[in-house]
Amino acid sequence: GEAYVQYDIGNTMLKVGRQQLSTPLIQGHDLRLLPSVYEAAILRNKDIPDTMVEVGFVDRYSGFTSRDNGFTDNKTSKDGLAYISFSNKSIENLSLRGQYVKTLSDTNSAGGAVAREVYTYLDAKYNLPFGNKTYIKAQYGTNSYFDAAQDDGTLMGAKVGTSFGMFDIAVMYDKISDNQFQAFESGPMYTDWQQGYGPYEASTGIAGQLIIHPMDGLSLKFGYADVSADEGNTVDDFTEFNFDGKYTINDYSKLRIRYSLKNQTDVSTREDRDDFRVTYYINF
């Protein structure tokens, strides 16, 4: 869990300690009960109208698959990492987000290699002037390596969505090229699948989703993703159906039910699997 000190003054917030982070590249993975927690110091400011700027330093983190509640610096390095992240909504109907992450050493505290030196990410969402909540989104990201002989990994994607009454629909596309693409914990890709956590191979993904809101406090999300690995890769080559149902019971509790069925292709080196998760949240 979290244990931090937070200080707010005006439009500025300083938070130091073990905490959850919510940036495009450094965030959580909510498939399991325990959250992803980072040993970090962040400074966030909102003095510029319609703009948020956040700078941070991350020493170690405990991912959702960490054993014995251990904290690791296998990605953050023995000297940690630094980042700057921003969001902006100053232009009508347009929202922007971006992040730059720099790993400060090429080894972890155990002497093992840390592969990635720089992570970058930018996305944009534009609300279209027709339909009901119609929008288009685009994203771009890179991974750069300490080993200069390795090509940068590149992510490009797009998403289009709209709403009809109680239905929200969207179609998505993502392309990872030249090398693997990785974020911390869950990736930012639009092609939505539950069983994905990086590093993600060079591949092409297409997906669609339908979210139904039949009553207040209830949402039912159905998704389908088809991911095809580039030649020579054997992991991210699959299709997945997924369901995510959320129901707010009252002011202090809610229920979430998730299911996914993942079918790997014949060339894939991973097994087929299906996951079923039920989570009951209580706030007190």
Predicted local distance difference test score (pLDDT) of residue 64: 65
The number of distinct structural domains making up the chain is 2
- The answer on 267 and 144 residing in a single domain is yes
Tell me what the mean pLDDT of segment 93-102 comes to.
Answer: 98
Tens of pLDDT, residues 37-63: 999 999 999 999 999 999 999 999 987
Q: Is 80 left (phi over 0), alpha (psi -120 to 50) or beta?
A: left
Model confidence over 140-162: pLDDT tens digits? Answer: 999 999 999 999 999 999 999 99
Domain around 106: 1-114
Helix (H) or strand (E) segment spanning residue 211: strand 203-215
The answer to whether residue 119 is domain-embedded is no
- Answer whether 238's CB lies under 8 Å from 264's CB: yes
Same domain? 135 vs 96? no
Domain end among 72, 94, 114: 114
* 144 and 263 fall within a common domain: yes
Q: Is the pLDDT of residue 127 over 70?
A: yes
Q: Which of 29-43, 110-124, 144-158 has the lowest mean pLDDT?
A: 29-43
pTM reported for the whole predicted model: 0.92
DSSP state of 200: B
For the beta carbon of residue 147, count every other beta carbon within 10 angstroms: 11
Provide the pLDDT for residue 232: 81
Residue where a domain stops, chosen among 91, 114, 137? 114
How far is 52 from 49, CA to CA, in rounded Å?
8
